[in-house]
Structure 1
Amino acid sequence: MQQKLNKNIYRGILILSFIAINILIIYGVSSVLAYLKTGADRANMLHIDVKSETVYSPEINWISLDNPGREISKQELKSIEDHYLKSWYIKNIAFKNNSPYGIEDFYTDSARVHIFNTLKLNKKQKISIEATTISHSPKLEFYSEDGKLAVLTDKNVVEFQKVFQNNKLVLSTTDTSSYKVILLLEDGFWRIRHKVKIENEPEKDTLKTTQINQIRDSEILVEGKPFTIKGINYYPKETPWDMFGENFDLEIIEKDFKLIKNSGLNSIRIFIQYEDFGKEKVPPAKLEKLKEVLNTAENTGLKVVVTLFDFYGDYSVLNWTLTHRHASQIVSTFKNHKAILAWDLKNEPDLDFESRDKKTVLAWLSQMIKEIKKFDPNHLVTIGWSSPEAAIHLLDEVDFVSYHYYKSIDNFENDFKILKEQSLNKPIVLQEFGLSSYTGIWNLYSSSETKQAEYHKEMQAIFKKESLAFMSWGLYDFKEVPTSVAGRLPWRNTKQKYFGFMNENGDKKPSFLYITN
């Protein structure tokens, strides 16, 4: 009797389990179908989660949609564009990791063969490739009647590559290539069926002559008149390195700008932090604050050097397009603003040479110069190098040379003479200099407000003799300096607080007498 009861229990458990499993299967299938009917991206349902929206965003401009086939809808064009760009991104990831992961989602069987063979060879030779494309200009050549085949050409695609062997960089190269591409629509994906290189089109120079600011010989011209920069690096006293944050106060900035103008200066340098300004998606609120600052500077009669990419230090090839989108939103917005004197691409990028690879940093800067000039042909471009020795880089690409100097004043004139001989007769701006007035144990009691004043008096005499443009560091002493700026070591952080011409209470120090010449 007991044995029969146990059999019935087991039978009941099996039947209930079978019913439960079938219910779960039916529920799962219906959920998938419902998900896809909502228009969800099929990539999210497969093994490859393509995150190109946040890590890869090249500029794309369709040249033409006219073709012998049928007219294409905006929705389908967007789908082709999205999958085409993802095919580039997935291939770049594959060559970086020597893994075919995701290739089958964006390339047909026949197109995968070459990629797989290349991956196999690279893996055998311990070669990896980091690559990205900067921009695409596709033209739709044909779109089939059944909507399952598209042919496009993509002219003058700029590609940057870093080739590594045994984890050592062996080659960095920038290349421009054009392609003819055939795409097939298969189970919801536009896959590359065929992609071959074709002849490049002659590039047209679309840059206009600088309208607002220009360079003539070794002079900077503003609206056609010679302009010698006499300026200062600026942060508000209470919000250093956070000028555009929650405590943004335009009234304080207006008062400071009037003080700067009345002191005899004509320019300021301000800083745009990459992450604070939203990386590849710049918040409109940040642009509005920057607009208010630039308008205030214009109304006060001050010119502005805007330093971009402050606290940016990645330079990863796959992230290049994100930095381009960041720059395009800021620079395009203010390309006609008369307060801007120049775009300063990056503060002291040479300090990243060792940790981020010198060739990669220089390649990023070189490409960014091209991007900035494309977005804004009206203003000048410079780079704020940390020393006169570093300022010889990219001389033929910047409009004027900017460098910083915190070494002994005894060597200044000789170092300036050497740089001047190497500068290709371009204007030179001493973009940062100064002396901390901190006197205490962390400075070995070696400075004072009096010594700071003597330093600036001597520097201004040199500037006057050499007709050298300058921007001192900075207007105020600060109560606190972020560790991200000067580190945690007290002998560095403490000194950084006392470079100002005015103390933390807003009172003028003796050096204020020599803020200009």
Structure 2
Amino acid sequence: MVNTNKIIFKSILLLSYLIITAVLLFLISSLYSYFNTGADRSKILHTKIKKIDQYLPKVTWLEDGNLGREMNAQTLSEIESNYLDAWYIKNIAFSTNSKIGVDAYYTESARKNIFNIIQANKKEKITIERTTLSHNPDIFLFSEDGQLVVLEDKNVVEYKRVFKDNKFILEITEIANYKVILLLEDGFWRIRHLVKESVSEFNKKTKASPPISKTIKGINYYPQATPWNMFGSDFDIKIILKDFNLIKTANLNTIRIFVPYKDFGKAKVSESKLNKLRKVLDAAEKNDLKVIITLFDFYGNYEVLDWTLNHRHVEVIVTAFKNHNALLAWDVKNEPNLDFDSRGRQNVISWLEQIILLIKSIDKKHAVTIGWSNISSASILKDKVDLVSFHYYEDKDAFEERYTDLKEIIKDKPLVLGEFGTTSYRGFWKPFGSSEEKQARYYKEMQAVFAKNKIPFISWTLYDFNKIPKEVVGELPWRRNAQEHYGFINKNGEKKKSFKYISKH
């Protein structure tokens, strides 16, 4: 029995040796073949950053010629890619105080300065979250041997947020000018010198958009069959046209809709989604309705390194629709203050401010607002927006007083009640809940307050829904069932008693 075990053990060892040897020979053979079929040896060693997915600051080249060798489009593209990768990896290095990846994008002499900064920051327990939002490079010299580039990068917009002992210290947005030398090594353009020549503080002041001429009487809108998925595969413009006609005949003049960030393609905005959004705006214009477009639905990251992706998303959408006749305003984000605890208040507010600045730099005609979840948050960034928008789902009897108090705080901006409403649900999960009669009474009383104080309003929402995504209200059935019954029209398509008070006629 012992001899049998020894034989089995030796056989296993021999078989393992043969397998390992075969794998090694295969790998060596593959590597030899790779190097002898025109492959670039440097690429197998170079840690390539996927910039297309992670870092997309706006780049505007000044292409007015350069000294030395003529620059072709492919080389320019490679220089841009490696140059932005270098910025991105440096941003990561300063936010983590890690040297990983730096040697791939900076020559030995250039990375010494970065490593010195990392060492000093580690000692002082400092981290710096940073990104660049725009670059304006101009090539001065491209050497005749194609190995060296000298460029100037002007008006680089840089955002920095400094932490000490993991506590926020300060943030600053700057405009800087750089002189840069890049060397071609191992098939990649690495930074040899990066010298900041001048720096000034970025001007965050913006001009107010023209005032909205009419009093907003609106409704937050989703088609009944596709709530929170309005632009998905079941998109049907005929249904939307019919709903918009109903909204118009109900004496409303505005709708608020939502653009989901991921569904629209994030930084690479889907052309098919843009076409669907255009059809919705066209349908609104046909029914003489104005539209508030709420951006970044189902987005909640706010990290500084994601900002360039967010900017490309905004840039495409705002540019596409800034001249549409149906557009009334841009709502940067729905209820961002709900992310204060999980994402950090300062992170969220800084992100909102940057998005406002970007929208206003592209569209100077339309108002910008933020859909705060409650009246307590409404004054945040009040000097940056054109409309102060807040939601109210609290005690209706306290609303008028709280609205009046807010008006005393914000005297120079129009206030808009961007969401309000109540459910008509009474059932297994809430046997002593609401009813259609209670819901109708709620809207009757709220409309009386609106009429008395001339308050612009946007109610929640046109329809009762059959299914609410868990991302909206979670898994708890008493919350989900209540949310399904906020509409003025029930699941069978019948007008509820509250429909009489959808607007003050």
Q: TM-score, normalised by structure 2?
A: 0.91
1:50: how far off?
Answer: 1.3
Higher mean C-alpha displacement, 99-108 vs 196-205: 196-205
Equivalent position of 1:325 in the other structure:
312
- Cα distance per residue 1:135-187 (max 9 Å; x no partner): 11112222222222212222222222233333333333333322111112222
Q: Is the 8 A contact 2:206 2:357 kept in 1?
A: no
Encode CA deviations 1:233-260: one digit per residue, 9 max, x unaligned.
0001111111111111111111100000
Displacement of 1:390 after TM fit? Answer: 0.5
Pairing 1:46-61 to 2, within 5 Å after superposition:
46-61=45-60
1:305 aligned partner: 292
Aligned partner of 2:407 among 402, 420, 445: 420
Alignment match, 1:83: 82
Deviation at 1:300, TM superposition (A): 1.0
Show the counterpart of 1:6: none
Q: Note the alpha carbon deviations across 1:394-437, whole angstroms, 9 max, x for none.
A: 11111111110001011101111111112241111100000111
Cα deviation digits, residues 337-366 of structure 1 (max 9, x gap): 111101111000011111111111111010
Indicate conservation of the 8 Å contact 1:431/1:472, yes or no: yes
Of the structure 1 ranges 260-269 and 369-378, higher mean CA displacement relative to structure 2 is found in: 369-378
**2:458 aligned residue (447, 465, 471):** 471
The 5-angstrom pairing of residues 428-447 of structure 1 reads 428-443=415-430, 445-447=432-434
Residues 19/383 of structure 1: CA separation in 2 closer, same or farther (3 Å cut): closer
- Aligned alpha-carbon RMSD (Å): 2.5
| Alignment-mate amino acid for residue 137 of structure 2 | P
Query: Residue 32 of structure 2: which of 20, 29, 38 is its match?
Result: 29
Whether the 8 Å contact between 1:430 and 1:470 is mirrored in structure 2 is: yes
Q: CA deviation at 1:47?
A: 4.9
Residue 440 of structure 1 aligns with an amino acid whose one-letter code is G
CA shift in 2, pair 1:483/1:36, >3 Å:
same
What are the residue-to-residue correspondences of 1:114-133 with 2, within 5 Å?
114-133=113-132
For structure 2, the residue ranges without an aligned partner over 5 or more in a row are: 1-19
Can you list the C-alpha shifts for 1:368-409, whole angstroms capped at 9, x where unaligned? Answer: 011112222232211100111111011111111111000101
2:259 aligned residue = 272
Aligned with residue 336 of structure 2, among 332, 346, 349:
349
8 Å CA contact 1:366–1:397 kept in 2: the answer is yes
SS of residue matched to 2:364: coil
Amino acid at match of 1:395: K
Cα distance in 2 between the residues matched to 1:73 and 1:207: 39
| Higher mean C-alpha deviation, range 200-209 or range 499-508 | 200-209
Matching of residues 89-108 of structure 1 within 5 Å = 89-108=88-107
Q: Deviations over 1:287-340 (max 9, x none)?
A: 111111111111111100010000100111111111111111111111211111
Amino acid at match of 2:192: R
1:248 pairs, out of 196, 213, 235, with: 235
- The change in CA–CA distance for 1:377 and 1:396 in structure 2 (over 3 A counts) is same
Q: What does residue 278 of structure 2 align with?
A: 291
Cα distance change on mapping 1:359 and 1:203 into 2, 3 Å: closer
Structure 1 contact 155–201 (Cα < 8 Å) conserved: no
In 2, are the aligned partners of 1:60 and 1:135 still within 8 Å (CA)? Answer: yes
For residues 216 and 349 of structure 2, the distance between their equivalents in structure 1, rounded to whole angstroms, comes to 26
Amino acid at match of 1:140: I
Give 1:322-471 correspondences, 5 Å limit.
322-443=309-430, 445-471=432-458
The worse-fitting range, judged by mean Cα deviation, of 330-339 and 56-65 is 56-65
Q: Distance in 2 between matches of 1:493 and 1:197?
A: 55
Paired AA for residue 190 in structure 2? R
Question: SS state of the match for residue 375, structure 2?
Answer: coil
Describe the shift of the 1:441–1:87 C-alpha distance in structure 2 as closer, same or farther (beyond 3 A): same
Alignment partner, residue 161 of structure 2: 162
Distance in 1 between residues matched to 2:27 and 2:240, nearest whole Å: 64
SS at the partner of 1:280? coil
Query: Please, which moves more after superposition, 173-182 or 286-295?
Result: 173-182
- CA 1:441 to 1:425, structure 2 compared with 1: closer, same or farther past 3 Å? farther
Residue correspondences, number = 486
Secondary structure, aligned partner of 1:447: coil
Task: Quote how far apart the aligned CAs of 1:134 are.
Answer: 1.0
Deviation at 1:25, TM superposition (A): 4.2
Separation of aligned partners in 2, 1:259 and 1:19: 73
Q: In structure 2, do the counterparts of structure 1 residues 187 and 466 end up closer, same or farther at CA, with 3 Å as the change threshold?
A: same
Alignment-mate amino acid for residue 382 of structure 1: T
Q: 1:47 to 1:151 in 2, by over 3 A?
A: closer
Greater displacement, 127-136 / 500-509:
127-136
Q: Tell me the CA shift for residue 70 of structure 1.
A: 3.5
Q: Which moved more, 1:192-201 or 1:325-334?
A: 192-201
SS at match of 1:36: coil
Structure 1 47/139 Cα, relative in aligned 2: closer, same or farther at 3 Å?
Answer: closer
Instruction: Tell me if the contact between 1:172 and 1:359 (Cα under 8 Å) persists in the aligned partners.
Output: no
Structure 1 pair 90/203, CA: closer, same or farther in 2 (3 Å)?
closer
Alignment CA distance shift 1:194-1:254 (3 Å):
same
For residue 9 of structure 1, what is the aligned residue in structure 2? Answer: none
2:225 to 228, 231, 238: 238
Query: Which amino acid is 1:453 matched to?
Result: A
TM score, norm. by length of structure 1: 0.89
1:458 is displaced (CA, Å) by 0.9
Give the secondary-structure state (helix, strand or coil) at the position aligned to 1:171. Answer: strand
Partner Cα distance (1:291, 1:429) in 2: 25
2:495 alignment counterpart: 508
Report the CA distance shift for 1:133/1:424 in structure 2 as closer, same or farther (over 3 A). Answer: farther
Match of 1:486 in 2: 473
Residue type at the aligned position of 1:29:
Y
Tell me how far apart the structure 1 counterparts of residues 224 and 25 of structure 2 sit (CA, whole Å).
69
Paired residues of 1:156 and 1:201 also in contact (CA < 8 A): no
The 1:24/1:55 distance shift into structure 2, 3 A limit, reads closer
How far did residue 64 of structure 1 move?
Answer: 3.7
C-alpha displacement of 1:18: 11
- Contact 2:67/2:142 (8 A) holds in 1: yes
Tell me how far apart the structure 2 counterparts of residues 253 and 18 of structure 1 sit (CA, whole Å). Answer: 66
Structure 1 residues 252 and 64: alpha-carbon distance in aligned structure 2, compared to 1, 3 A threshold: same
Q: Tell me, what secondary structure is at the counterpart of 1:150?
A: strand
Q: Is the 8 A contact 2:206 2:384 kept in 1?
A: no
Secondary structure at 1:506's aligned position in 2? coil
Contact residue 257 and residue 294 of structure 2 kept, 8 A: yes
**Identity, % of aligned pairs?**
53
Q: Gaps (5+ residues) in structure 1?
A: 1-16, 221-225
Q: Return 281-290 or 160-169, whichever deviates more.
A: 160-169
Change (3 A) 1:69 1:508: same
